[in-house]
Structure 1
């Protein structure tokens, strides 16, 4: 088998990377250079896209955001704020044999692992997209692993037969309040609703306004998603979902709700009508990224989703582990 070469991609090679994202099964919008560059520019992150080549052909790779902490620790992560997963990608092989596909996966991930270990990082944290489940090339070499979850709402099922009593009550409340849903492209509406959510908790939104503006621009220019809003009869938007398109699915990436209207069921109405709309467009499932926070999980379970795991792998240096322990001790003493 030919040896795998790993190196940083040049910006001129990002189109080739995007073609790999399109073809690779775990490839998502979060892997694309468009999304990664939004994260890089708005969040001021140092971005590297490392490609794995066999005989000059790009067969895999991984985006990495690099952060230096006080010039002492060099941290690498495949994700950043509100990008739940964006880890390694592997080009799908033509072989129908499971053993051959596993061999290709291990060779590519093994080469990537060895390359990352030589870059002087004190911590490396990779979050693999759902669908790439074999983390053994990392764990067999001493990396830690953990499991996270997302929810898939299967669109080939009858939504009404899967609704809980709580969701039915919320949909009835929405109907009685005269709430309607529609597609909208107004970033100001979304940012206003999101700000209301965090103001109630005395917190700042997880991303700056510019990030959402750039996402809306990407949606409009390349048709990679849409915003769905719930409105009162007077036309006031009270809840919104930002949905991004994936392979055969739509991803509910971010949601916002005016807390004053929460009891009217606008969020349940959004999911219900999104379900019907996507089903009519031949999408196979909705990927609802709300499975790792209990209060969100309790709500979405009312639609009877399928629980889908995805995995993280982490390698930490002794220096990083010591610094982390000291930080935890210091903060425990000051609380």
Structure 2
């Protein structure tokens, strides 16, 4: 096997990276330079995309956000707020043999791991996209691993046959209340609903308004998703989902709800009508990113989804582990 060269990509090479994301499995919107650029610009992150080259061809890589803590610790993370996964990618294997496919994965990930370990990071955290199953090139060399989950709703199935009694009751309530759904790509409406959710918990929204404005702009320019809303008979939007397109799927990235209308079943109506809409457009499944929080997982289980694992790996220096332990101890003493 030819030697793999790993280096940071220049911005002029980001188009080449995006072509790899488009072809690689499981490349996602969250891997693209445009999405990563929004995170970098709005959240003031330092972004680096490392590429793996074989004979000059980009065959893999990994984006990382870099953070310096008080000049003492350097932290690298492949994700950031509301970007649940990104992580390493590799070029699709041309071989149909499982042994050859595994060998090619390891031939790319091993040099990537070695390169990252030489960059002087005190902590490296990589979250792989669903579908990337082999993280052994990291765990075999002392990296810790964690399993996370998402839900896939199979759009080839009959949604009505998979509904729980609770969801059926909510749909009935929503229909009796005259609620309707439609596509409406309006960032102000979405941010207003999102703010209401967090205001009730006396919290600020997880991301600034500018982040959502940039995402909506990207949606409109690239046709990579849409906002679906539930409205009252008077036309007031009371619930919304931001859906992003992936390979053969949609990703229910984030949702918002006016708490005063939760009892009318607006969220159940959104999911149900989204299912029908996406099925009519030949999408294969909905990736509902709600499996890692108990109350969200309980709700979406009413649609009988498939539970899908995905993985993260972490490597920490002794200095970082000590600092983390001291912080936790101090935090406990304060509270």
- Band the TM-score falls in, shorter-chain normalisation: over 0.9
2:177 is aligned to 177
In structure 2, C-alpha distance between the alignment counterparts of 1:324 and 1:10, rounded to whole Å: 33
In structure 2, C-alpha distance between the alignment counterparts of 1:130 and 1:186, rounded to whole Å: 29
Give deviations 1:236-265, integer Å, cap 9, x for gaps: 000000000000000000000000000000
In structure 2, C-alpha distance between the alignment counterparts of 1:94 and 1:333, rounded to whole Å: 56
Give deviations 1:83-109, integer Å, cap 9, x for gaps: 000000000011111111111100111
In structure 1, C-alpha distance between the alignment counterparts of 2:113 and 2:202, rounded to whole Å: 41
Q: Secondary structure at the match of 1:141?
A: coil
In structure 2, C-alpha distance between the alignment counterparts of 1:202 and 1:331, rounded to whole Å: 21
CA shift, 1:185, in A, is: 1.2
Instruction: List aligned pairs for 1:29-44, cutoff 5 A.
Output: 29-44=29-44
Aligned: 1:28 with 2:28 = yes
The ranges of structure 1 where at least 4 consecutive aligned residues each deviate by more than 6 angstroms after the TM superposition are none
1:114 is aligned to 114
In structure 1, C-alpha distance between the alignment counterparts of 2:223 and 2:94, rounded to whole Å: 30
Q: Secondary structure at the match of 1:87?
A: coil
1:283 is aligned to 283
Give deviations 1:134-167, integer Å, cap 9, x for gaps: 0100000000001000000000000000000000
Q: Secondary structure at the match of 1:62?
A: strand
2:202 is aligned to 202
1:141 is aligned to 141
Unaligned 5+ residue runs, structure 1?
none
Instruction: List aligned pairs for 1:175-254, cutoff 5 A.
Output: 175-254=175-254
2:50 is aligned to 50
In structure 1, C-alpha distance between the alignment counterparts of 2:332 and 2:185, rounded to whole Å: 45
Unaligned 5+ residue runs, structure 2?
none
In structure 2, C-alpha distance between the alignment counterparts of 1:293 and 1:225, rounded to whole Å: 24
Q: Secondary structure at the match of 2:181?
A: strand
In structure 2, C-alpha distance between the alignment counterparts of 1:11 and 1:326, rounded to whole Å: 38
Instruction: List aligned pairs for 1:287-302, cutoff 5 A.
Output: 287-302=287-302
In structure 2, C-alpha distance between the alignment counterparts of 1:305 and 1:159, rounded to whole Å: 10
Aligned: 1:93 with 2:93 = yes
In structure 2, C-alpha distance between the alignment counterparts of 1:262 and 1:70, rounded to whole Å: 43
Under a length normalisation based on structure 2, what TM-score does the superposition of the two structures give? 1.00
Under a length normalisation based on structure 1, what TM-score does the superposition of the two structures give? 1.00
CA shift, 1:333, in A, is: 1.2
CA shift, 1:334, in A, is: 1.4
Give deviations 1:253-300, integer Å, cap 9, x for gaps: 000000000000000000000000000000000000000000000000
1:307 is aligned to 307
CA RMSD of aligned residues (A): 0.4
